[in-house]
Structure 1
């Protein structure tokens, strides 16, 4: 009789364990048809791929106020730069070309980290390279800090849902940058 009771207890225990595993699996399963926009509103904000881009507002050199944060009509590239940065100087003509080529699907915002630069030099840089995209001055470096900026240039790729796709430290070849833009915009 004892062997039968042990077997019954063992069978019941296995059934309970299997039931718990099935229930736990069901609760962990993610909904399949939740739109990306809805999912992105539940994300936390931060300076990393897969997180909502930290929001900010800066005035551009064209006197327009630019807001970043949340869903937008186009993908966005934030380009943090300084006038003394040689890689930034090399990258400027390519960014101009990308801004024109992908103007229907991508906004590029240049952000001069003026706290680590000299504003008159930054203004000369804008004229010298005839930047065709809006440029803002991060006078105190607060926006650069929000994105954990460490090097120049830093490019932040943000999708239409306001989620950071990638943070690129340093300069890429034009071909590498264009591949990343195509992936970001689906163009």
Structure 2
């Protein structure tokens, strides 16, 4: 009899824990530990970086729009290939997307980075990672590396290397649509 009662109590506790854990079925963003890459489903690290005019700008965190963070370097051939696509995406989705180019200045030369921006005619904000904190915090080991971050500050996509502009458009439209639907619910 005691054994049956103990078994019943254990089953009820497990069932209660399962119900408690799954109540509302809301997605919970996990904070990435300092030794892992920010990846889909995890909160994007937040920090301030200077732009080309040395004004401080925030990356990560909650915001009104979807955020595309693109880590690049002036000596990176694939970065040069994707720069026109990044500019086109910035223009096309400007009202619905913030695009920040983060130059890995600690691995680059600032003068060359500024020349790259001029040559590519980039008009979206370019941030300078002079001390390498952003590159370290986002665990960027190759260029280009890009992250799509939703309005709640959660990483939705992490892309290493170059993808086609049409693939970018598909990803952006997918997450813009989800962002807009979430705003309507609130």
Band of TM-score, shorter chain:
0.7 to 0.9
CA RMSD of superposed structures (Å): 2.1
1:79 corresponds to 2:93: no
Per the alignment, residue 182 of structure 1 pairs with: 173
1:70, 1:103 → 2: CA distance? 19
1:155: which partner in 2? 146
Q: Which has the larger radius of gyration?
A: 1
TM-score by structure 1 length? 0.83
User: Which structure 2 segments of 5+ residues have no match?
Assistant: 181-186
In structure 2, the CA distance between the partners of 1:12 and 1:168, relative to structure 1 (3 Å rule), is same
Q: 1:23 to 1:91 in 2, by over 3 A?
A: same
Does the C-alpha gap of structure 1 residues 181 and 14 become closer, same or farther in structure 2, counting only changes over 3 Å?
same
Please give the per-residue CA displacement for 1:82-115, whole angstroms capped at 9, x wherever unaligned: 1111110010000000001001111010111011
Number of aligned residues: 174
- C-alpha distance in 2 between matches for 1:27 and 1:137: 45
Distance 1:58 1:9, change over 3 A: closer
- Match of residue 44 from structure 1: 31
From 1, 15, 19, the counterpart of 1:22: 15
